Structure 1
Amino acid sequence: MKTMRWSRISPQAALIPAVAVTLVAFVGSILWTLYLSFTRSRRLPEYDIDWSEWGRQYDRLFKDAGWEISLRNLIILGLGSALAIVFGFILAAMIDKEKRGESLFRTVFLYPLAVSLIVTGAAWRWILNPTLGAQAFLRGLGWEVDFNWLAQPDTAMYAIILASVWQSAGFYMALMLAGLKGINSEIWSAAKLDGVPLWRLYLEIVIPMMKFTFITCAILLSLGVIKAYDVVVAMTNGGPGQSTWVPAYFTINALSAKSNLGYASAAAVMMLIITLIVFLPLVALTAWQQRKGAPR
């Protein structure tokens, strides 16, 4: 009996260290950051709250032009990075239809994922360098082109999107390919016998059947976009001016350059709220779809 009882308790006991670390390092950090956002902490934390101006840091944040720019760039980056899912699906569909060389193409398209975003940003910064990269090469061939995107505030964010899509499209391709492999082969045979056009088959049958895969990709994409920082630092370091600031860059800049811990904490709390606003509806949609599709 004792052996049976211990076999039931031991799995729960093994989880205690992991739960403790999660509570302290994750939940505790969130609560500590939230508390500091109501204080006047500068270089070092202060724990006295002036209740007459408890929202002082948030009031400054909402009036800061840099924060407004970072939110606008977050939307632009999110919409642009969604192209990675589109390209990932197209690549997966092409590989799934062409069986020969599938392993080779899958490896080639997945290769950028093995490169960190810092290295990706550095590589694309060199590619877009007007004197060393693609512009110099094409002008050497006699083509008058302008690829100096990183030096122009109006196009710098699009250069970051280009690098991000290149780096992550292979990952979403792998997820989409797994979803396509899960579709019953009889569906493809029946569509071929009925003469259904390929585009209509994908649009009306395949894509709806892969809705969970698309939702998963959207969740992963949204989390990656909200915490985007390293690719921005590697390519533009927030410039020109503040044209490529994003919330994560704004937060780190408030902490390191301005040495304002309370202000950075307020920005971090707003990032958490943005994450919840984006993340929770997608999770709820996934749960609703699963409940809708479950047998009764």
Structure 2
Amino acid sequence: MNIRWSRIVPQLALSPAVFLTLVAFVGSIIWTIYMSFTRSRRLPDYEIHWDRPFVQYERLLGDKAWSISLDNLIVLAFGSMIAILVGFVLAALIEREKRGEDFFRTVFLYPLAVSLIVTGVAWRWVFNPQLGIENFLHELGLTWIDFNWLADGETAMYAIILASVWQSSGFYMALMLAGLKGISDEIWQAARLDGVPLWRVYVEVIIPMMKFTFLTCAILLSLGVIKAYDIVVAMTNGGPGQSTWVPAYFTINAMTNKGNLGYASAAATMMLVITLMVFLPLVLITAWQQRRAKKGADT
């Protein structure tokens, strides 16, 4: 009897959380997908016009602002990969130089404690021509330098990428540092005895051994990029024009400014599809690599 209760009690304790997850998360996803097939405006309209059930998706695929959002999403994704590279380099430097590890780890992790809104506002000041880097350089006599990236639609997204990399590099550094600490010292000693250059040790040995860490970082990065919204609002509010729109900004704008629930639901559903297209392959690759590594260890 005691054994049975020891199994049932944890399940009973978790049941409210499972119920809330099903209602608030899964239920919301199903409701949003359903709304995307309706012609709802500010208020829900649960009638589906079966003659054209995909009307919202047709409008979405023909919307230039949505195309701009997808293009910016790709730019943001590739640009944000720099954060993983910077995180790995910082972790490698800290791991090789043991002195001051706690200090530097705290310093590089500090931006992570700042919200994306605060990060965006701070970097908007940095790019302000009257207050930021451009003003500082002009005072030094370098008047030909133009650092007002946020005012130019061609460079505004790169400013957002730079702020995102600054904010997230410390997080990826912590993950990489944990992966580096899991590597045996015998590998470093063997490489030192064989006279192998340090860069070859990292490229040919360390990085392949840390493939699961890199995959984890890639998964987290992809999720963060797809839902990027706060930092865009704080730095540019989608401007200049629509040059820094991303899917999350497009979706919320369709709901709040245009008051079009059906259209916003279609955009949100497309975001879910994009997330699954990126997230599931990475998860499957990670699971396959883990299974392969386990079979290799067993043999």
Using structure 2 for the length normalisation, give the TM-score: 0.98
Partner of 2:139: 140
Secondary structure, aligned partner of 1:106: helix
Runs of 4+ in 1 over 3 A off after TM superposition: none
Secondary structure, aligned partner of 1:83: helix
Partner of 1:121: 120
Stretch of structure 1 that moved more, 140-149 or 5-14: 5-14
Which blocks of at least 5 consecutive residues in structure 2 are unaligned? none
Secondary structure, aligned partner of 1:154: coil
1:7 aligns with 2:6: yes
The 1-side partners of 2:4 and 2:245 are apart by: 56
Query: Where do 1:17-166 residues align within 5 Å?
Result: 17-144=16-143, 145-166=145-166
What whole-Å deviation, never above 9, does each CA across 1:149-177 have from its counterpart, x for those lacking one?
00000000000000000000000000000
Secondary structure, aligned partner of 1:223: helix
Shift of 1:11: 1.4
Which blocks of at least 5 consecutive residues in structure 1 are unaligned? none
Query: Where do 1:112-261 residues align within 5 Å?
Result: 112-144=111-143, 145-261=145-261
Shift of 1:64: 0.1
- Structure 2 counterpart of 1:234, one-letter code: A
Q: How many residues align?
A: 295
Shift of 1:132: 1.1
- Structure 2 counterpart of 1:115, one-letter code: V
The 2-side partners of 1:155 and 1:6 are apart by: 62
The 2-side partners of 1:5 and 1:202 are apart by: 51
Secondary structure, aligned partner of 2:51: helix
The 2-side partners of 1:8 and 1:57 are apart by: 48
Shift of 1:16: 1.0
- Structure 1 counterpart of 2:52, one-letter code: E
Secondary structure, aligned partner of 1:51: coil
The 2-side partners of 1:12 and 1:20 are apart by: 12
Shift of 1:27: 0.6
Shift of 1:130: 0.7
The 2-side partners of 1:106 and 1:286 are apart by: 27
Identity of aligned residues (%): 73
Stretch of structure 1 that moved more, 3-12 or 177-186: 3-12
The 2-side partners of 1:142 and 1:90 are apart by: 34
What whole-Å deviation, never above 9, does each CA across 1:54-85 have from its counterpart, x for those lacking one?
00000000000000000000000000000000
Secondary structure, aligned partner of 2:46: coil
- Structure 2 counterpart of 1:39, one-letter code: T
The 2-side partners of 1:150 and 1:6 are apart by: 61
Secondary structure, aligned partner of 1:245: coil
Shift of 1:13: 1.5
Shift of 1:4: 2.5
The 2-side partners of 1:33 and 1:253 are apart by: 16
The 2-side partners of 1:142 and 1:12 are apart by: 69
Secondary structure, aligned partner of 1:147: coil
The 2-side partners of 1:105 and 1:4 are apart by: 49
